[in-house]
Amino acid sequence: MKAARVHQYGPLERLQKSHAEWRALLPPKAYEVLFEKDTERPFTSPLNDEKRNGTYVCAAPIEGHMATKRDFKLIWPRTEYHCARCGGHHGHLFGDGPRPTGQRWCSNGLALRFVPEGEALPPLRS
């Protein structure tokens, strides 16, 4: 087991929840995106028009702790990114984005929760 990361919440450890437990905690569409690797239809994200300053956190546990893996689901390799704490699928990272990084993060808004600047981050799930 990897060492826990320290964040403002304290040590972070990988959550060990069954799919049934996650299904009971999350809205159906968020569960499908996070744990069945579904994808939102283009331009349907509730966060598409979000322009305020704030923090995006995983709809299951917490922001700032992502992991990646290679995904060959569509024949050519892609980089999937997911929450390092719950394992929930957030989207894919592509190398055809704008300068200076060349990265395009294709995020599923249903996998995220927006917390406006000045509001407290939600408590961690356990």
Which residues are annotated as catalytic? 106
> CB count, 10 Å around CB of 62?
23
Question: For the range 98-106, what are the long-range contacts, defined as Cβ-Cβ under 8 Å and sequence gap of 24 or more?
Answer: 105/81
The answer to whether residues 32 and 39 touch, using CB atoms and an 8 Å cutoff, is no
> What would the two tokens of residue 123 be?
């408590």
Q: Which of 38, 54, 42, 123 is nearest to 88 (CA)?
A: 38
The neighbour count for residue 99, using CB atoms within 10 Å, is: 6
Distance CA 94, CA 77 (A): 10
